[in-house]
Amino acid sequence: MENHTDAAILELAHGRYADAGDEYTLAAYADLSGTGGNRRSLFDPDGAEWAGYAVESFLLAAVCYRLAGDDERARNRVGQGILVVGDLRDDVLSDAVLRAACFEWVGHLRTVVGDADRAATAYDRAASGYADADPEDAVSWTTNPLLQAGTNAVCHLSRPDDVQWDEIHGSDPSTALTRRVQFARSRLPSMVAARIDAGTLHAPRGSTEYGTGQFRCPDCGSDDVNYVADTVLCLRCDTPVDRV
């Protein structure tokens, strides 16, 4: 079975953003139906939060379509992501933390298409929801798939700067959830703008190796590599590298 996420990353490496958007869209559909790599569907009673990875794919698809100059398709993917998290929040999920995470996703998605006012409203609701939930171990919730997928999306959009977990969540474990909302609200708009201005969405960071001496980028000459999507890309410019 084809891995559409890996296919999307390879399209990113070649700068084919419309095709990457299509592959990320297919990855989202596969995850929602339970035929993707996680094998959890949107309505899985024991794992609906795994739909976060589908929403991550919708968000990345929207960024790709914006890079391809197709703002209408970008808005469509954002709308699909918002519909999914709205359904999760209102009809599937019961935990207050996860419901708050759905509002956080709405903030991320609206940010991608420049809908700043409604993004701010969604972030306010997410922060209030996290504060009202006040879980005993806030940090442990950050590894839940619905929240982990959001962290993945923010880290991906931060490339090549590569923000780290502690930058997003802060140093105080008790405020990790509200801190992540504050971080996204203040930093995600500039990350998205940087990607659009540069005309590039970098491949996500996988396993990395520096000064390999085994690979050489044909474009920039670096031998620092990123092992991702079952291939080897230049860590600096995402070009598929040659073995020396």
DSSP 63-103: HHHHHTT-HHHHHHHHHHHHHHHHHIIIII---HHHHHHHH
State what percent of residues in the chain have pLDDT above 70: 100
Measured between alpha carbons, how far is 194 from 96 in angstroms, rounded to an integer? 33
- Residue (of 66, 27, 109, 59) closest to 200 by Cα position: 66
Measured between alpha carbons, how far is 102 from 123 in angstroms, rounded to an integer? 10
Strand, helix or coil for residue 233: strand
Q: Averaged over 136-164, what is the pLDDT?
A: 96
Higher pLDDT pick, 214 / 43: 214
* Per-residue model confidence as pLDDT tens digits over 54-91: 999 999 999 999 999 999 999 999 999 999 999 999 99
Strand, helix or coil for residue 64: helix
- Residue (of 176, 168, 131) closest to 152 by Cα position: 168
Tokens at 98, concatenated: 């996860």
The half-sphere exposure of 65 on its side-chain side, counting CA atoms within 13 A, is 22
- Please check the confidence at residue 42 and state whether its pLDDT lies above 90: no
